[in-house]
Amino acid sequence: MQEYFYTLADFIGKQLQGNEVYLAEFTAEQSDFIRFNKAKIRQPGNVEQRYLLLDLIDGQRHINEQFTLSGELKIDYERIATSIRQLRNQLPHIPADPYLLYATEINSTESIGNNNLLAAPDAVNEILTATGDLVGIYAAGSIFTGFANSFGQRNWHSSYTFNFDWSLYHSKDKAVKSAYAGFEWNSADFTEKVTKSLNQLAILKQEPHIIQPGKYKVYLAPAAMFEIFQLLAWNSFGLKSHKTKDTALLRMLEGQNLHSSINMMENIKDGIAPTFQAQGFIKPEQVSLINQGIYDTALISPRSAKEYDVNTNGANDEEYPTSLDLAAGNFANDEILKELDTGIYINNLWYLNYSDQTACRMTGMTRFATFWVEHGEIVAPLNVMRWDETLYNILGNKLIALTKERDFIMEADTYEMRSTGSARLPGALVEDFTFTL
């Protein structure tokens, strides 16, 4: 796949005329997808696809096109040549882009992942042997990303990952949702997750405990934390949102801080996203976003760098983190219920949105298995409830502690191809968490 892309890149370079420059981003996958329902295989399949995003530049004018590749050089040569002719014809009619910035120094890199994945039949056997009445999807395989430009830069990144996202079902809206993702399947880790889910499923069969709206001590599991950061990531960490005052972390930029134990970074080194981006800039291994509760560094795309006259740190155009990392805390998973004592154990959240973006106030619903805990013991499930809280409470003055253990969570998106977004997150023990209904 790598040689194939580099051969295409060389061909693109030969099609240029005059002062034209090209940038090319290659993405591809070879993935198995297996859908389960009622503990049976309902839809097995395999996907192999390749895309090329080609940006043609002349001065400050540029225009791009993304198209599917066949994998056969002769066919793809014709497609590329046609695309370049069409882009060239359109380019004189495109206005100059004052914020166009791309790498001109050559920084070629190569990162080739190891394939330690289970064969699909072996993964299916593990899943069906360990679980009960489940619904879910297993996705696994290789993801490839490449970059090339007319200056001779070549970058390559490949990774081999799996993501099994599933729910154990009881009845109606009662289910326990879980996920297991990574680079190498570990039967003991998977069995531990399944056992925990089965134990929680047994509790879901009891009559729900009824509580009134108000403030409660809660434990937010890593999956619940992931939903909070999914909302936060889209408009909070980028320089553009800071300069336009559109960030949900506006109060942090003005001096309000989180708990001193909060250390957050974009950790490309330990994620699955490539170390380069579409304009050819290389990302640092780590970018500190929040350091000891104080906002540290923004994610800066090339466009923002040009607009605000600063250096880029290789962020994507959207300036959102792709490998978010929240540092671990100081209490162990087996102490969670003891530390919670009496309160609410929250596995999942959903339907998140801002109720006051400027204050970083969020609202959402509990989802799936949420439990009432008394004296360190789960005693009953809770019905779905709405909550409304600010990040400055959740990870600020109401944060009690974060767990020592963290979960590696992969984004399950597969709309165009499997996502390379991921996060490493601990669970959080929080007091006075507000439920509104």
Domain end marker among 203, 220, 237:
203
Q: In this structure, are 79 and 188 located in the same domain? A: yes
* Whether pLDDT at 133 is above 90: no
CA 264, 270, 274, 280 torsion-angle sign: positive
Tell me which residue of 61, 75, 51, 43 sits closest to 1, measured CA to CA. 51
Q: How high is the mean pLDDT of the chain?
A: 95
CB atoms under 10 Å from CB of 202, counted, come to: 11
Q: In this structure, are 307 and 415 located in the same domain? A: yes
Structure tokens at 258: 């989180």
CA pair distance 35, 44, nearest whole angstrom: 6
| Residue 336, CB-side half-sphere exposure with 13 Å CA sphere | 24
Residue 238 has what DSSP assignment? B
Position 202 scores a pLDDT of 92
Tell me which residue of 223, 202, 198 sits closest to 406, measured CA to CA. 223
pLDDT in tens, 81-130: 999 999 999 999 999 999 999 999 999 999 999 999 999 999 999 998 88
* Whether pLDDT at 173 is above 80: no
* Whether pLDDT at 170 is above 90: no
| 179 contacts: CB under 8 Å, gap ≥ 6 | 163, 164, 165, 166, 223, 409, 410, 412
Cα dist from 19 to 7, 8, 87, 212, whole Å:
22, 20, 14, 69
3-class secondary-structure state, position 344: strand
Q: In this structure, are 338 and 402 located in the same domain? A: yes
Q: In this structure, are 122 and 178 located in the same domain? A: yes
Q: In this structure, are 134 and 210 located in the same domain? A: no
Position 174 scores a pLDDT of 81
Number of domains composing the chain: 2
Region of poorest pLDDT, from 16-25, 169-178, 183-192, 409-418: 169-178
Position 138 scores a pLDDT of 95
CB atoms under 10 Å from CB of 378, counted, come to: 17
Q: In this structure, are 129 and 165 located in the same domain? A: yes
Burial of 107 (0-12, 13-18, 19+ CB in 10 A): middle
Contact 406, 329 (CB under 8 A): no
Q: Estimate to the nearest angstrom the gap between the alpha carbon of 42 and the chain centroid.
A: 27
* Whether pLDDT at 377 is above 90: yes
Domain end marker among 152, 182, 203:
203
Domain end marker among 182, 203, 224:
203
Q: In this structure, are 33 and 143 located in the same domain? A: yes
Domain that holds residue 267: 206-435
What CATH number does the domain containing 60 carry? Answer: 3.30.2290.10
Q: Concatenate the DSSP letters of all residues of 83-115 into one string.
A: HHHHHHHHGGGSPP-TT-----S---EEEE---
Q: What is the pTM of this model?
A: 0.93
* Whether pLDDT at 287 is above 90: yes
User: Residues of the chain with pLDDT > 90: what percent?
Assistant: 92
pLDDT in tens, 303-320: 999 999 999 999 999 999
pLDDT (average), residues 195-212: 92
pLDDT (average), residues 278-291: 97
Q: In this structure, are 176 and 218 located in the same domain? A: no
Task: Tell me phi and psi for residue 378, to 5 degrees.
Answer: -70, 125
Position 38 scores a pLDDT of 85
